[in-house]
Amino acid sequence: MSRALAPAGRRAAGAVLTAALLLPLAACGDGSEDKAAGPAGTKLTVLAAASLTDVFETAGAAYEKSHPGTELTFSFAGSQELVAQVSQGSPADVLVTADTKSMDKAKADTGTPTVIAKNRLVIATGEGNPHRIDDLKDLADPKLKVVLAAPEVPAGKYSEQILEKQGVTVRPVSQEPSVRAVLGKVEMGEADAGLVYRTDARSAQDKVDAVEIPDDRNAIAQYPAATLKGSGNAGAATAFVAWLSSPEAQGILRDAGFQKP
């Protein structure tokens, strides 16, 4: 703080007055800064479906940039695992699942959910589609090693739904705990094909090929997001969930291949 020099006769009185003015200002400044940022800023833990891994890492960086002082930590897993974590009291602030049924199971612990995106399934194959898989019915070939998500996983439920609708019987060599685990099996060559979300196949397009499934034979995956009642940062959690429906966040989701809600 700068001030004009006082004449010699007033110097002592001026110093006392200045000190008296500075003390409350300093106290006010320290308190307001602590209140705004907190000791280490605002930290939010977001439990999110595995298929959101790549896009949420991008979205999280954008959110932190536009919300200085807020730090996001993501925990990705199958939706059924996330719901189990919530029911067991794991500390978190936001829940985002890959289907509305999983979110419904956690309704006692969440606020009102908002659907932030949609997705569709594709058939993921090895690069170049070496087995020439063109349709769902090709997955019934017993010579193929097909991997699916487990029935309790949203992607597994959607897979069962579309296969049954087409009358296709598939005997998977394994049923994985998340759609990302299915993708991993195909990427590593441990499976010839698997049903994953379109966005998952897109994230690994240098390692796998995606065979599109017509809309009339497909299933629409919905991604609801909600705050958790046990959050220690309810206001910040609400702000993040609201941001997921903003033009900025929706643009990031669209760029990653997700469909509008």
Quote the mean pLDDT of the chain. Answer: 87
Q: Are 87 and 73 in contact (CB under 8 A)?
A: no
Instruction: Kindly report the backbone phi and psi dihedral angles of residue 67, in degrees, each rounded to the nearest multiple of 5, phi listed first.
Output: -130, 70
CATH number of 119-220: 3.40.190.10
Residue partners of 238: CB distance under 8 A and separation at least 6: 111, 227
- DSSP label at residue 228: B
CATH number of 42-118+222-255: 3.40.190.10
Report the distance separating Cα 80 and Cα 156, nearest Å: 11
Report the distance separating Cα 1 and Cα 173, nearest Å: 73
In this prediction, residue 36 has a pLDDT band, given cuts at 50, 70 and 90, of: very low
Q: Supply the pLDDT for residue 26.
A: 37
Report the distance separating Cα 197 and Cα 127, nearest Å: 17
Other Cβ atoms within 10 Å of 119 Cβ, number: 28
Q: Supply the pLDDT for residue 190.
A: 96
In this prediction, residue 235 has a pLDDT band, given cuts at 50, 70 and 90, of: very high
Q: Are 182 and 148 in contact (CB under 8 A)?
A: yes
Report the distance separating Cα 7 and Cα 74, nearest Å: 62
Q: Supply the pLDDT for residue 27.
A: 37
Q: Does residue 13 carry a pLDDT above 50?
A: no
Q: Does residue 1 carry a pLDDT above 80?
A: no
In this prediction, residue 41 has a pLDDT band, given cuts at 50, 70 and 90, of: confident
Q: Does residue 9 carry a pLDDT above 80?
A: no
| CA end-to-end span of the chain | 53
Q: Parse the chain into domains and list their residue ranges.
A: 42-118+222-255, 119-220
Question: Comparing 42-118+222-255 with 119-220, is the CATH topology the same?
Answer: yes
Q: How far is CA 166 from the centre of its chain?
A: 31
Q: What is the Rg, in whole angstroms, of the alpha carbon atoms belonging to the chain?
A: 26
Q: In this structure, which amino acid lies at residue 9? A: G
